[in-house]
């Protein structure tokens, strides 16, 4: 097997933050001045040091571009707009801040007050951002105005995780009591409420086709569910807290983050583990694939940013023998 197709760690950035890193995002973005066929890989991280850091990843090197100050408490979630060079961060200080990814300028700061925003997710068109927090309600903000356009009530407890489906039809939430909710955005109502886990649901993620949903929980399990029926499909036991999960852009694999410092890569069908990375010394709080699905980003309580080589699965074998031909 060629060296460039082996599962391996490509880069470890130690002391990337002064304190534990709680969240990350990775996106390929066209920036002002780029040609139509040119774009850059941006990585955004946030953590206990109250900072949002913006990095570029070029030629297998991680370069700090901006260290954004504005939050007064830990940054618990970051998201990159799919349609513009904009980053949104949420913090324990109960504020949402919109930043210009290229200049590092603060665009808008929204005090969320009693909604106590926790995790955040962009709509696929980039026009809205959904938030979940202690109230059990989902607040949907318009990005341009910062105004709340929808409030969806899960009638549940503290929302620890949230995801917007790629087709824009659904929002999924995971709560502290193990409940998974799937909501219809247009109708503004709960479609399914599932007792998915025996512990807090730390992460939810839709597959690219919007027909499958993955969850990660303190009960150690990563599970997949059918969105239409909310039916259980597969599970993967980490034997410690499972705190993160994400899909490749074509949906064939997932990456998971765990409290034992591991990052696993698994086939979506069956959740069969393809590789386990053991490169962090503490809880891995976030994982993300890059746009080509060949690399994985992870961030940890150990203050490190890791990037791994993650080869795509081999194509299925085909029999090229022609009927009636004897091959010696």
The DSSP call for residue 85 is S
Out of 32-41, 167-176, 240-249, which region has the weakest mean confidence (pLDDT)? Answer: 32-41
Residue 326 lies in a domain: no
User: Using CA atoms, how far apart are residues 122 and 131, in angstroms rounded to an integer?
Assistant: 9
pLDDT above 90 covers a percentage of the chain that reads 86
Structural contact between residues 94 and 113, judged by C-beta atoms closer than 8 angstroms: yes
Mean residue pLDDT across the chain: 92
Residue 320 lies in a domain: no
The pLDDT, as a whole number, for residue 15 is 98
DSSP assignment of 201-233 equals EEEEEE-TTSSEEEEEETTSEEEEEETTT--EE
Residue 328 lies in a domain: no
Residue 203 lies in a domain: yes
The pLDDT, as a whole number, for residue 188 is 94
106 to 73, 79, 99, 121, 205: CA distances (angstroms): 17, 15, 5, 19, 28
The pLDDT, as a whole number, for residue 54 is 98
Domain count along the chain: 1
Instruction: Find the domain containing 291 and state its range.
Output: 3-309
pLDDT in tens, 311-321: 987 776 654 54
pLDDT in tens, 51-68: 999 999 999 999 999 999
Residue 321 lies in a domain: no
Using 50, 70 and 90 to split pLDDT, how confident is the model at 133? Answer: confident
pLDDT in tens, 262-293: 999 999 999 999 999 999 999 999 999 999 99
Specify the CATH number for the domain of residue 228: 2.130.10.10
**Nearest alpha carbon to residue 143 among 79, 57, 47:** 79
The pLDDT, as a whole number, for residue 2 is 42
The pLDDT, as a whole number, for residue 316 is 62
Q: Exposure string (b/e) for 44-74, b if CB count within 10 Å is 16 or more? A: bbbbbbbbbbbbebeeeebeebbebebbeeb
Using 50, 70 and 90 to split pLDDT, how confident is the model at 22? Answer: very high
Residue 86 lies in a domain: yes
Is pLDDT at 3 greater than 80 in this prediction? Answer: no
């Amino acid at each position: 097997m060629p060296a460039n197709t082996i599962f391996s760690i490509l880069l470890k950035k130690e002391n990337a933050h002064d304190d534990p890193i709680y969240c990350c995002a990775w996106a390929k973005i066209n920036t002002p001045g780029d040609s139509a066929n040119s774009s850059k890989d941006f990585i955004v991280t946030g953590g206990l040091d109250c900072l949002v850091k913006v990095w570029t990843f070029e030629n297998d090197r991680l370069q700090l571009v901006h260290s954004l100050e504005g939050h007064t408490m830990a940054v618990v979630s970051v998201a990159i707009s799919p349609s513009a060079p904009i980053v949104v961060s949420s913090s324990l200080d109960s504020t949402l801040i919109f930043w210009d990814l290229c200049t590092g300028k603060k665009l808008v700061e929204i005090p969320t007050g009693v909604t106590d925003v926790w995790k955040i997710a962009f709509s696929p068109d980039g026009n809205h951002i959904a938030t979940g927090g202690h109230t059990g309600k989902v607040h949907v903000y318009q990005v341009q105005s910062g105004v709340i356009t929808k409030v969806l009530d899960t009638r549940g407890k503290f929302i620890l995780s949230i995801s917007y489906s790629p087709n824009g039809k659904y929002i999924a939430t995971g709560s502290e009591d193990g409940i998974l909710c799937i909501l219809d955005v247009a109708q503004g109502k709960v479609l399914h409420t599932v007792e998915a886990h025996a512990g807090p649901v730390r992460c939810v993620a839709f597959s690219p086709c919007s027909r499958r949903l993955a969850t990660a929980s303190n009960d150690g399990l990563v599970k997949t569910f059918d969105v239409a029926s909310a039916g259980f499909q597969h599970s993967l036991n980490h034997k410690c807290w499972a705190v993160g999960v994400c899909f490749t852009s074509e949906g064939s694999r997932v990456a998971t983050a765990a409290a034992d410092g591991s990052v696993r890569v698994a086939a979506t069908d069956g959740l069969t583990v393809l590789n386990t990375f053991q490169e962090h010394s503490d809880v891995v709080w976030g994982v993300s694939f890059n746009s080509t699905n060949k690399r994985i980003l992870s961030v940890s309580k150990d203050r490190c940013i890791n990037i791994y080589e993650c080869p795509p699965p081999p194509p299925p074998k085909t029999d090229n023998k022609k009927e009636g031909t004897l091959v010696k």
